[in-house]
Amino acid sequence: MAIDKKFIELFHNVTVQAAFASHYLIGKKNKVAADKAAVDSMRNELNKINMNGQIVIGEGELDKAPMLYIGEKLGTGKGPYLDIAVDPLEGTNFVANNLPGALSVIAIAENSNLFNAPETYMDKIAISSSENGIVDLDNSVSQNIENLAEYKNTQPNNLTACILDRPRHKEYIDQLKALKVNLRLISDGDISGALLVTNKDYNVDIFFGIGGGPEGVLAATALDSYGCYFQGRFLFESENDKLRAKKMGIENLEKKYEINEIVSGDSIFCATGITTGDLVKGINILQDSFSSETLITHKSTGIKKVVKSNHKI
């Protein structure tokens, strides 16, 4: 079954309102308040929608997140059963410090079609081609780069890799430098980082590295609509993490997840800009209204576009 097109505008409004609520905290050095504003707004808007929604990826488990927690039921209780994944504010530091690239993000799939990802790290890799066998998490950095260069009929020094600029990635970055691959280092925001492979205008050929597991699932939802390749493997650092994962039904803790195991069936993805970044422009206040830009995908209709809109304040 497909998710009715009417839900596109409804969920678009959810991320727009969350982005607008958060924008008041831009540059205020208070990432907690910025996140809370986005969370409060998103939850309020989701509860207006005629659906039986359930959070599968949210702000954390019930004991850590009073709102938009994993398992929370949202909506009016009338309408389709939907899985909901949210990141009300991706890039809390971006908003707090008035830096580019902050987003409000949501992904929707039919009931039981969106992976319930644990709150842990994930090793990820993404490229624009959906073809299997070009890149793989079990390959070395050099093997993945050489395979990709061969597939694109070019040399490694013509490729650009996007990766979070973190100490844990020093070895990866050193290897990429040795291969003369161009680097696109990002400080935060690995949902938007992964999505840079979707369009050649962004000039990113491969995204990889270790980031948040929930963010991996959100990115995979959009990448699926673009026909891109994504692979992820959760990293469990403690026995408590492993226990929680097993309670969520994850038996094989070493498993590599392909995109069709992360999201299946129809889906909607919306990412509204709070501060201007690569994907979309941020909230812009006009005299008595504001403008927004949102990247929207809807798999069943093939929608993949940036929507610009104006809203009354």
Over residues 8-45, the pLDDT tens digits come to 999 999 999 999 999 999 999 999 999 999 999 999 99
What is the spatial distance between Cα 57 and Cα 115, in angstroms, rounded to a whole number?
Answer: 8
Q: What is the reported pLDDT for 57?
A: 94
CATH fold match for the domains 6-112+266-312 and 121-262? no
Cα-Cα-Cα-Cα dihedral sign, residues 310, 90, 278, 28: positive
Q: Do the beta carbons of residue 66 and residue 58 sit within 8 Å?
A: no
Structure tokens at 140: 């070395």
pLDDT in tens, 81-122: 999 999 999 999 999 999 999 999 999 999 999 998 888 899
3-class DSSP assignment, residue 255: coil
The answer to which of 19-23, 175-179, 237-241, 293-297 has the lowest mean pLDDT is 237-241
What is the domain partition of the chain in residue ranges?
A: 6-112+266-312, 121-262
Q: What is the reported pLDDT for 248?
A: 81
Q: What are the φ/ψ torsions at residue 162 (nearest 5 degrees)?
A: -105, 130
Structure tokens at 214: 């929930």
How many beta carbons lie within 10 A of that of residue 63, not counting itself?
7
Whether the per-residue pLDDT at 285 is higher than 90: the answer is yes
Whether the per-residue pLDDT at 168 is higher than 90: the answer is yes
Closest by CA to 187, choosing from 49, 90, 121, 48, is: 90
17-35 burial code (b ≥16 CB/10 A, e <16): bbbbbbbebbeeeebebbb
pLDDT in tens, 125-151: 999 999 899 999 999 999 999 999 999
Whether the per-residue pLDDT at 243 is higher than 90: the answer is no
Q: What are the φ/ψ torsions at residue 153 (nearest 5 degrees)?
A: 55, 50
Which H/E stretch holds residue 19? helix 6-23
Q: What is the reported pLDDT for 61?
A: 74
Whether the per-residue pLDDT at 65 is higher than 80: the answer is no
The pLDDT confidence band at residue 66, using thresholds 50, 70 and 90, is confident
How many beta carbons lie within 10 A of that of residue 6, not counting itself?
9
Q: What is the reported pLDDT for 245?
A: 84
Average pLDDT of the chain, as a whole number: 95
Q: What is the reported pLDDT for 249?
A: 83
Whether the per-residue pLDDT at 63 is higher than 80: the answer is no
Pairing of strands 182-186, 160-164: parallel
How many beta carbons lie within 10 A of that of residue 178, not counting itself?
11
Q: What is the arithmetic mean of pLDDT over 186-214?
A: 95
Superfamily of domain 6-112+266-312: Fructose-1,6-Bisphosphatase, subunit A, domain 1 (3.30.540.10)
* % the chain with pLDDT above 90: 88
Whose structure tokens read 């309102």? 17
Q: What is the reported pLDDT for 62?
A: 64
Please check whether the domain covering 121-262 is classified as CATH 3.20.20.140: no
Q: What is the DSSP letter of 205?
A: -
Q: What is the reported pLDDT for 78?
A: 96
Q: Which residues pair with 83 in a beta bridge?
A: 54, 109
The answer to which of 101-105, 219-223, 236-240, 267-271 has the lowest mean pLDDT is 236-240
